[in-house]
Structure 1
Amino acid sequence: MKVLVADDISRQGLEKLRIVPDIEIEVRTGLSEAELAQAVRAADALLVRSQSKVTERVLESAGRLKVIGRAGVGVDNIDVAAATRRGIVVVNAPDGNTISACEHTFAMMIGLARHIPRAHASVKAGVWDRKSFVGVELMGKTLAVIGMGRIGTEVAKRAKAFGMKVVGYDPFLTDDRAKELGIVKAALEDAVAAADFITVHTPLTKETRHLIDAAMFARMKDGVRIVNCARGGIIDEQALCDALAAGKVAGAALDVYEQEPLPADHPLRRFDNVIFTPHLGASTEEAQLNVAIVVAEEVANVLLGRPFRNAVNLPSLDKELSDYLAPYLVLGEKLGALLGQLSPQSMADIEIAYGGELALQDVSFLSRTVLKGLLSQRFADEVNYVNAPTLAQEAGINVREVKQPKSTVFTSLLSVSAVTPQGRRRVAGTLYNGAGARIVQIDDYRIDMLPEGRMIYTEHVDRPGMIGRIGMILGEADINIGSMQVGRRDTGGQAVMLLSVDKPVPSEVLDAIGQIAGIHTIRSIEL
């Protein structure tokens, strides 16, 4: 079996493959798309980092390819959908750089507190100026950790060792988990308001893009310091420039940017109190070795037919069960994603219920797809069909399956519910013969909607003219409505609505809809 290595990957990691009998390694880096498409024709496995783009065109040439290994977390450079359609497993190394990213965050925080880069440059220039570089201690300061996943958790542990008070925000952070870590759980607005230092560790999703914006900077203490070693775009860079110029932010340390490389004329470059590094969070010998070893072992496991852990896409199932479950796998992931977007708060208890004929099947893998959709709102690329239960457990979320073969009016019904600060929320779906998947319930409201595309969800008072007002605002924004479903219990009472729309809805349009009298909740949904 032939493994094509298309990017620079640690030699020690590759040794995990070299020692496997019947595996041949070919290293060819720096290939164009056409060259990669040609080279992959004879390969059984492909190993990449972030440089090579594994496009659909490349995969069209991959007649023998069984597995693609990504030495790292993100798979943006791999067309996962095209790989899945061709039965190619995509594996990654989701936790190999956790410690490196954590330690880089702390290096940036300390450098920021003690002006280390500027002081170093001053001494190198022949100046001995101590007064200009008086810093602050970390001891006794409050650190807000925005995103309490693996890296955020490691940062919190080290901050406590420095004598800092840690306030953590994460939609999935439970009270018990916060207590276990010895931190204070808080809402995002409260966390940033209390902080002397802020560090962000969320994935970049549509919910977290510009999570730290002008309104959030306005809530912060004067003289706050902020660090981003997670993803460019979580912090609104223009808002950060404004906050630096106004003196609201005493300093920032950035390893990631909305555009990389950082443009030469970027306005952030004019601030002396900003520390820059060129996306070095995972750039340690240990991290590069770890991800190489993990992904090499995973590729070998796939090629040799052994169990593997870090599949990004759908691993193989028994053909008969796979054929039966295939449409439910799609439905389950979308129901999970829907619930996660309807309730972006902490979840302590998740119930996945199977009714009718579906309850008679082995649905353990289907539950994983539900969790993958649900947890993708928090973990983005880090969560996959294999590790979703583990990530839920690590986050302190209890998950249980319930089977009810005789308790549904549908031939089969899949429902997902979760306990949130607002109470238990529930979504349900089914398959209609000849009509495909449908969302049939949100909380206690009956509905009938295709689970796909972009949507607007509202909770509102059922009164005349409500739908017309929403339609008018969307029309003025040149946003076309594809379909609409309203669920209600009583005329004139509370109702919910799903509108499918043809393009993304800007936040200002959502805000305008939210100002309509009688609108209680509005959410942008993408399935």
Structure 2
Amino acid sequence: MKRVLICDPLSEDGIRPLLDAEEIETVVQTSMSHEELLKAVKDVEAIIVRSQTQITEEVMKHAPQLKVIGRAGVGVDNIDVDAATEHGVIVVNAPDGNTISTAEHTMAMLMSLARNIPQAYHQLKQKRWERKKFVGVELKGKTLGIVGFGRIGREVAQRAKGHRMNVIAFDPFLNDEKAEKVGVQNGSLEEVLKAADFLTVHTPLIEKTKHLINKEAIELMKPGARILNCARGGIIEEDALLEAIQSGKIAGAALDVFEEEPATEHPLLDFPEVIATPHLGASTVEAQENVATDVSYDILELLRGGTVKNPVNLPSVSSEMMEKLSPYFRLSEQLGAFLSKVVEGTLERIHVYYSGELLDVDTMPLTRISVKGILKRHIGERVNDVNAFRTASDKGIEINEQKSTSTKGFTNLITVEIETDQEKRSIAGTLLNGLGARIVQLDHYSVDVVPEGHLIVIQHTDQPGAIGRVGSLLAGHDMNIATMQVGRTNLGGDAVMVLTVDREVEGKCREELAGIADIRKVKCLNL
């Protein structure tokens, strides 16, 4: 009989599929110490957690029969996913179960913020009847700006439209056509900030979105606008929000999450313009049941020999196939990551082409990794080798894979091409014997670039002195150039310059580079 260990409190109705399975022994053992956990996992094939229990590599080493770890929720911060992959353990989560609850909580916070409901209730509990003090604003006719238009963002938009609000949204995967279908306006981040009477964020917390709503962003907003965060602490720079509340620039804020939790002593809580809840976005009976049910069914399916719906890490690959593919894993992701950082516009299609030694190999795992490298810039660690295709599909992005006998003189060649609503860009890479991964083509320019470290990609006109001006400017910023590659189409025509430098390029340096004569575009990458 297969044993499943549940380490954190879960809805009994949610784990009913496991409890009712005759071939499964489900053990519920919560609030364990680390030592108790190590003993409890020794003969289990599946572990289910919420956010309390930490599943580390040490835990996995004490669980030789472990096949799957389930997270009853979205985030997997308390699971060492890399270690799980290394140990051949599948990690699954429940990304859809709390969508409705979080959207509804956002609307509850929006209404409370507009009408000062918590503040008025608090005064009434103090035996004070102060109607004039709590005059609110109507939602009808106001503009709700939504930053992040995934599942939760879309649900919030539908509810806001029910209140006859105008909705403008920003998402790197949203274009005018998609926005029109759901009845919202598509805008840039700057346009959303400027238009919003209420601003709500629904993005993952990744490097790109950390402090996305900072002092500069808040300065773009209307005087008297209001801000909500029911997504992840850290998307909004809390010091900047505090300053904006103090100055009166922002009329109020509704926060369900903070950078550091619990946040009982947070200075924002001292201001009557701020309302807050202790991370309750997914805290409903239904959401807790949904996430438990989703994970239970996935684990049950896997233990019965089937496939899972919501895998987080790479599934097992035959040793023979792994031997052929593994040398290309890193190159595939680097090509996707590189191209995602130089292309502009909303992603529509991704094409991956293979030739040479890869003609007779199942290259689908490599395509997944390339797609992951592309999407990771916008989505972060939520996208992985397994769910990359599904994530792309959810975003309306088409994926194509093709093989060709044309190797352009290389033993093996991987070409990744991205089409957006603005442009088409491509990159090609290979593995050179003894030299490792190389980018050998960027669009139609031939180059020889190692795809790692701090890179500067410059599109310019091929004119005398261009390279010297770039070198002098970088020297002025105490920036050492490790390598430089220049590709051009013809004398005096379009050209591309790719430099590897010793440290990250700061904003001022980037701006000055873009201002050099004959330079059209500058992109700074960190691979």
Contact 2:338 2:525 in 1 (8 A): yes
- Give the equivalent residue in structure 1 for 2:291: 291
Matched, 1:514 2:511: yes
| 1:473 equivalent among 462, 477, 481 | 477
Question: Take 1:145 and 1:435, find their aligned partners in 2: how far apart are those partners?
Answer: 46
> Given residue 458 of structure 2, which amino acid in structure 1 is its aligned partner?
E
Question: Take 1:269 and 1:523, find their aligned partners in 2: how far apart are those partners?
Answer: 40
CA change 1:460–1:473 in 2 (3 A) is farther
Provide Cα deviations, 1:56-100, integer angstroms capped at 9, x if missing partner. 222232322111111111111111111111111111111111111
Of the structure 1 ranges 434-443 and 118-127, higher mean CA displacement relative to structure 2 is found in 434-443
- Give the equivalent residue in structure 2 for 1:122: 123
Matched, 1:254 2:251: no
Contact 1:99 1:154 in 2 (8 A): yes
- Give the equivalent residue in structure 2 for 1:318: 318
Of the structure 1 ranges 152-161 and 410-419, higher mean CA displacement relative to structure 2 is found in 410-419
**Number of aligned residue pairs:** 516
> Given residue 287 of structure 1, which amino acid in structure 2 is its aligned partner?
A
User: Normalized against structure 1, the TM-score is what?
Assistant: 0.91
RMSD: 2.3
Matched, 1:281 2:273: no
Question: Take 1:419 and 1:494, find their aligned partners in 2: how far apart are those partners?
Answer: 21
> Given residue 362 of structure 2, which amino acid in structure 1 is its aligned partner?
D
> Given residue 221 of structure 1, which amino acid in structure 2 is its aligned partner?
K
Provide Cα deviations, 1:186-207, integer angstroms capped at 9, x if missing partner. 1110111011111111111111
Provide Cα deviations, 1:183-227, integer angstroms capped at 9, x if missing partner. 111111011101111111111111111111111111111111111
Question: Take 1:511 and 1:385, find their aligned partners in 2: how far apart are those partners?
Answer: 36
- Give the equivalent residue in structure 2 for 1:188: 189
Of the structure 1 ranges 42-51 and 25-34, higher mean CA displacement relative to structure 2 is found in 25-34
Structure 1 residue 116, shift from structure 2 partner = 0.6
CA change 1:300–1:511 in 2 (3 A) is farther
- Give the equivalent residue in structure 2 for 1:365: 365
**What does 1:101-500 align with in structure 2 at a 5 Å threshold?**
101-262=102-263, 264=265, 266-343=266-343, 345-452=345-452, 454-459=453-458, 461=460, 462-471=466-475, 473=477, 483-489=482-488, 494-499=495-500
Structure 1 residue 354, shift from structure 2 partner = 1.8
CA change 1:148–1:232 in 2 (3 A) is same
- Show structure 1 runs of 5+ residues with no match: none
Structure 1 residue 263, shift from structure 2 partner = 5.4
Structure 1 residue 317, shift from structure 2 partner = 2.5
Question: Take 2:247 and 2:315, find their aligned partners in 1: how far apart are those partners?
Answer: 52
> Given residue 330 of structure 2, which amino acid in structure 1 is its aligned partner?
V
> Given residue 402 of structure 1, which amino acid in structure 2 is its aligned partner?
Q
Structure 1 residue 181, shift from structure 2 partner = 0.8
Secondary structure, counterpart of 2:53 in structure 1: coil
Contact 1:174 1:395 in 2 (8 A): no
Structure 1 residue 344, shift from structure 2 partner = 6.2
Question: Take 1:286 and 1:443, find their aligned partners in 2: how far apart are those partners?
Answer: 50
Secondary structure, counterpart of 2:15 in structure 1: helix
Structure 1 residue 33, shift from structure 2 partner = 3.7
CA change 1:224–1:43 in 2 (3 A) is same
Question: Take 2:330 and 2:3, find their aligned partners in 1: how far apart are those partners?
Answer: 32
Structure 1 residue 280, shift from structure 2 partner = 1.0
Contact 2:208 2:378 in 1 (8 A): no
Contact 2:269 2:275 in 1 (8 A): no
- Show structure 2 runs of 5+ residues with no match: 461-465
User: Normalized against structure 2, the TM-score is what?
Assistant: 0.91
Question: Take 1:232 and 1:344, find their aligned partners in 2: how far apart are those partners?
Answer: 28
Question: Take 1:213 and 1:333, find their aligned partners in 2: how far apart are those partners?
Answer: 30
Structure 1 residue 306, shift from structure 2 partner = 0.3
CA change 1:243–1:301 in 2 (3 A) is same
Contact 1:74 1:381 in 2 (8 A): no
Question: Take 2:472 and 2:66, find their aligned partners in 1: how far apart are those partners?
Answer: 53
- Give the equivalent residue in structure 2 for 1:79: 80
Question: Take 1:301 and 1:175, find their aligned partners in 2: how far apart are those partners?
Answer: 39
Structure 1 residue 297, shift from structure 2 partner = 1.2
Question: Take 1:227 and 1:419, find their aligned partners in 2: how far apart are those partners?
Answer: 34
Of the structure 1 ranges 114-123 and 325-334, higher mean CA displacement relative to structure 2 is found in 325-334
Provide Cα deviations, 1:438-480, integer angstroms capped at 9, x if missing partner. 333333333334444x4233315542152353255255xxxx8
Question: Take 2:165 and 2:257, find their aligned partners in 1: how far apart are those partners?
Answer: 25
Structure 1 residue 259, shift from structure 2 partner = 1.2
Secondary structure, counterpart of 2:278 in structure 1: coil
